[in-house]
Amino acid sequence: NAGVMQNPRHLVRRRGQEARLRCSPMKGHSHVYWYRQLPEEGLKFMVYLQKENIIDESGMPKERFSAEFPKEGPSILRIQQVVRGDSAAYFCASSLNGPPINEKLFFGSGTQLSVL
């Protein structure tokens, strides 16, 4: 029973390029969360998605960042025109029954984005 799969594990981009981060939730999970973590800091919530719907994107920067979770395939976090400040570890998590009232999250191993 595979866990949450994120790829790539490491991603290097030059300023101005696009970064695409992928997340396949655990089998049977239809709720996905994206978090960003800077070195020596906690996780910052970015967005919560269900299949084909964005439920809460209050943590997403208004520009350059977007997320989707299509009916088929993985969830994608897309960062356009990356800047050095986007360098961070991006974690995806999934849950079985939705909002985390008495639900735990299962995390992937993260994608480390480095912007040169």
Partner 1 sequence: SQQGEEDPQALSIQEGENATMNCSYKTSINNLQWYRQNSGRGLVHLILIRSNEREKHSGRLRVTLDTSKKSSSLLITASRAADTASYFCATEVNTDKLIFGTGTRLQVFP
Q: Where along the sequence are the contacts to partner 1 (CB under 8 A)?
A: 4, 33, 35, 41-45, 48, 55-56, 59, 91, 93, 99-102, 104-110, 112
Tokens 């996780």 belong to which residue?
43
Q: How far is CA 114 from CA 24, 25, 73, 109, in A?
A: 21, 23, 25, 16
Strand spans (E) along 41-87: 43-50, 53-56, 65-68, 75-79
Q: At 58, list the tokens.
A: 């209050």
Nearest to partner 1 of 71, 102 (CB atom): 102
In the complex, least distance from residue 16 CB atom to partner 1, rounded to whole angstroms = 27
In the complex, least distance from residue 59 CB atom to partner 1, rounded to whole angstroms = 8
Nearest to partner 1 of 66, 107 (CB atom): 107
Nearest to partner 1 of 4, 67 (CB atom): 4
